[in-house]
Every structure is written in structure tokens, then in C-alpha cells.
Amino acid sequence: MKKLFSLILALCLLLSLAACGQQKTEEAPPAEDSGTEEPAAEPVELTVFAAASMTETMDQIIALYQDVAPNVTITPTYDSSGTLLDQIQQGADCDLFISAGQSQMNTLDEEGALLAGSRLDLLENKVTLSVPEGNPKGIESFDQLAELLKSGDVFLAIGDSSVPVGQYTQKIFAYYGIDEAAIANCLTYGSNVKEVTTQVSEATVDCGIIYGTDAFSAGLAVVDSATAEMCGQVIYPAAVLAESQSPEAARAFLDYLTGAEASAVFEGVGFSPLS
């Protein structure tokens, strides 16, 4: 009887061990780490030409974009839109152009220099009458400025006729029936809006006609803003150049400029995003 019991016990033990062995072999092996990583994106260099009035905002946005596309290095060039147009026409490398006026972009469009389908209206700005600290001359409005110009009792800084801010100023003069040649002794010119802004900041003039965003960045007081009736809308178009060596990367950056993060930067200085 004892032998029979021992045999049954041994048989049960063998069956139990066999079942455990089978369970271990049926268990899926642990997943192995392949050790592979996503390949790093190829480095890309972009050259962006932007109107001088965008200097501060574009510098901020380019820094932010490094977190979005760390493989992309963006080199900006800031100047008057007319100067940038001349450089592009003379063969300067440029992937993305942002102008402070439509005429410069229209010229490139007519020449077939823009990548098809890439052009858009990016921002709107305001043309403003700004004064030095303390407003020594007591300038209060464009209406008052017009009367002072006609009487020769004010010294005004404006952009020259080759730059958008100067072209908007010419429209304001036309609105008030002012002959620019007749008031030449009242005027001093800048080759871009930053030069005009500097003259106002340094109080070498009684007032200046500049963009609202430049007045904000320079900490200048704005006493009046021109209406669309006076000078039209101040629209900043943007487009990728047809000769861009990196059109996809340029389009991606232009898309970023229309997004929420970049728009917040633009709005922070007074631009109105349009896209």
C-alpha cells in the first residue's frame, strides 16, 4: 500500500513539473530594444529678406523656430523693401521675401521670380505720426501737421520715395494737398523706416511718419494714425522665391509665420496677422 502511494505521489510530481515547463516555453519572450533612433534631419540653411520694420519681431520668431526645426539655420537680412528688391533682382541668394508694400512683391511676381502658390498677405501695420520724448513741438494730429508744413513751422522726418513708408507718406501729402517740393525745407529723409525712427528718438526732428510697430519698439509716443482713406492699407506680403535652394523648408517657415506662436509675437508689437 505504501509503495502504491509513493508511485502515485511521484507520478503527480512528474506531471506537475512537465506542466510548468510547458508554460514557460509558451510565454512570449520579452521585447528587445532595437537600439535604433529616428535619423536626424538634414541641416538646412535659409536666407530670409524682411522689411526693416520687422527686425525685432523676426529675431524673436527665428529664435523660437529653433525649437521647432533645430536643423534649420535662418539668416535674416533687414532693410527697406526697395533695397531688398534690388538685391534680389541682382541675384542675391534669398529663400523667403517679406515686403512692407505690395509694389515690391508685385514686381517680383511679374518677373516670375516667386514660387507658384506661395505668395500670401502676412501682416497689416499702421502708418503713424510719432514724436520725441516730451513732444516739444506739441504735435497732436496729422491735421495739425499739415497746417504746420504749409506754414513752414515744423521739421519732419520721413522715408524717401524708394521705400514703402515714404510712399505711404506721399499719399498722405496728396490727401492734404501738400506739394512735397514746396516744403523741402521742412523735411529730412531716411533710406528705411529705422533711420526715420532714429531721428525721432534722438529728437533731431519735431516728429516723424513711421510704422506703429517701429514706434512701439523704440518707445516713442504715437499722436495719430493714418486712416486707409489717407494712405491705403499697409499690407506686408510674403513669398518663397522660385530660385530657393530649399523651397520646402522655406514654405515650412512661412507656414510657421502664419501660426499661433508667431502671430502672438507680431501682435505684441502692434502688427495685425492676416493669415
Break the chain into its structural domains and give their ranges: 44-125+234-273, 127-225
Q: Per-residue confidence of the chain (275 residues) as pLDDT tens digits?
A: 444 444 444 444 444 544 444 444 444 455 455 555 556 789 999 999 999 999 999 999 999 999 999 999 999 999 999 999 999 999 999 999 999 999 999 999 999 999 999 999 999 999 999 999 999 999 999 999 999 999 999 999 999 999 999 999 999 999 999 999 999 999 999 999 999 999 999 999 999 999 999 999 999 999 999 999 999 999 999 999 999 999 999 999 999 999 999 999 999 999 999 97
Domains 44-125+234-273 and 127-225 share a fold: yes
Select the CATH number that applies to the domain covering 44-125+234-273 from these four: 3.30.70.1070, 3.40.50.150, 3.40.50.970, 3.40.190.10. Answer: 3.40.190.10
For 180, other C-beta atoms within 10 Å of its C-beta total 15
Cell triple for 188 = 529730412
Cell triple for 259 = 501660426
Cα dihedral 197, 214, 163, 182 in deg (nearest 10): -50
Give me the amino acid identity at 245.
Q
Backbone phi and psi for residue 215, each to the nearest 5 degrees, phi listed first: -60, -40
- Bridge partners of residue 96, in order along the sequence: 48, 240
CA distance 265 to 135: 29
With beta carbons less than 8 A apart as the criterion, state whether 74 and 102 touch.
no
pLDDT given for residue 19 in this prediction: 47
pLDDT given for residue 275 in this prediction: 75
**Checking DSSP bridges between strand 187-190 and strand 156-159, what pairing results, if any?**
parallel
List, in order, residues 6 or more apart from 94 with CB less than 8 Å away: 47, 48, 49, 77, 84, 87, 88, 241, 243, 244
CA distance 33 to 93: 45
127-225 has CATH 3.40.190.10 classification: yes
Cell triple for 162 = 524708394
CA distance 40 to 71: 8
